[in-house]
Chain A
Amino acid sequence: MCDTCGCNVTPGNQAFAYKPVEKGATAVSVLQGLLKRNDDQATHNRAHFDSRGILALNLMSSPGSGKTALLEATIAALKREFNIAVIEGDLETENDAERIRAQGVQAHQIVTGTACHLDAHLVHDALHHLNLQDVDLLFIENVGNLVCPASFDLGQHLNVSLLSVTEGDDKPAKYPVMFRGADAMLITKTDLLPYLDDFDPARAESYLRNLANPAPVLHLSARSNEGMAAWIDWLRAQLSSQHKRLAAGESRRPAIQPEGAQLHAQAL
């Protein structure tokens, strides 16, 4: 293995890495992220949020872990305090946006058709369907999927990953890319814990720590309201941090650690 960057150039693949160019051809060094267009759009979205003082959160989980129920309970608790808007992502139906609108806040539904994730362009288009004037909190409910959404920056400031107690407590070990990028992990549906003997919240948290992720782990039930106060306090604290950052002319990206790619580019 390469001592400089830890890359995996072996005698078997060295030919690919250092193939001489043919006549009439030229090799161009690029070193750009493959999702550059998405990332540029995400940066634009984030600047847009920052210019309006909005805190944007990306909610990710498997289908059925309670993202929409959490949003309903969150809106009920916070709508008198803050202006909230929601972007919903699903393969089909307007159902989730209708549930959010029933709470009295604006929501736009992105119907992705067959796409398994939201990307920065879809979110940008959705922003044109929302009145962002005076909005404090924008929740983006991603497509229920623990794999694909993790690869696409939407312009959000924070990633929130949900893990319901009806799932396996080893989900963070099985889907490390998703849970490594979480700024908070919410263990949801905790009102069901007494009926389940195989979900151990402490074990779920230890799998998250194995991903070198220091994010807070909150236990809550949107149905019984247990644990909701800590989540609401966390949101208030994050919004206040966002206002402080903006006053200092700063922004924030989610907890993913982009240093790896940067260090590598420097090493080459």
Chain B
Amino acid sequence: MHELAICQALVEQVNDIVRQRGARSASRLRLRVGPLAGVVPDLLVSAFPLAAAGTCAEGAELNIVNASIRVRCQACGAETDALPNRLLCGSCGDWHTQLTAGDELILESVELQLAEVSDRSLEVQDV
């Protein structure tokens, strides 16, 4: 439903990065999406080409890393896995937990096609 709006925001963000870095285009994007981000990864993948058409992210590959849910218990201190609608401590069962992973909606990295291919630009990797 709202995944197209999110893809449009993603494309704007990628366009900014391409421009800032003086690159030609973006060829691969890596996202990290948690189950509690409220976004369906498959729908992002279907909406992305529509949002990217005619931009410098057109044709880019979208890789989504699915994060899993982790909670830290405020009662016993354990850090455990949890389900989206049961964020209880996996150790003592208390509901007073803090989410430590699982609500991410992050653009982790972008692979850019450089404007000019020179020996110097080969193998440049900030990741």
Interface residues of A (CB under 8 A from B): 1, 5-9, 13, 16-17, 19, 21-38, 115-117, 119, 145, 147-148, 150-152, 172-174, 176-178, 180, 207, 209-212, 214, 256-261, 263-265, 268
Contacts and interface: CB of A to CB of B under 8 A. Distances in A.
Interface string B25-36: 001101110101
Given A7-B68, A34-B9, A264-B104, A25 B96 contact: no
The 8 A-B residue pairs with the shortest CB-CB distance, nearest first, are A16-B63, A148-B2, A24-B117, A6-B70, A177-B38, A212-B87, A151-B38, A176-B85
A78 B93 CA distance: 41
Contacts of A8: 65-68
A36 B65 contact: no
B110 A264 contact: no
Contacts, number: 198
Given A16-B65, A26-B121, 20 more contacts: A6-B69, A7-B32, A8-B66, A8-B67, A13-B63, A19-B28, A21-B125, A22-B27, A24-B113, A25-B111, A25-B112, A27-B28, A27-B110, A30-B13, A30-B109, A31-B106, A34-B6, A34-B105, A210-B87, A257-B98
Given A24-B114, A37-B12, A173-B85, A151 B68 contact: no
A30 B86 contact: no
A152 B64 CA distance: 20
**Size bracket, chain B contacts:** 35 or more
Given A32-B13, A36-B13, A151 B6 contact: yes
Contacts of A177: 36-38, 84
Nearest to A35: B9
Interface of B: 1-2, 5-6, 9-10, 12-13, 17, 21, 23, 27-28, 30-32, 34, 36-39, 63-71, 81, 84-88, 95-114, 117, 121-127
Nearest to B79: A6
A9 B39 CA distance: 19
29 contacts: A6-B81, A7-B65, A8-B67, A23-B123, A24-B113, A26-B21, A26-B114, A27-B112, A27-B125, A28-B21, A28-B109, A28-B126, A28-B127, A29-B126, A33-B105, A34-B10, A147-B2, A151-B105, A152-B2, A176-B85, A177-B36, A210-B87, A210-B88, A260-B34, A260-B100, A263-B101, A264-B32, A264-B67, A264-B104
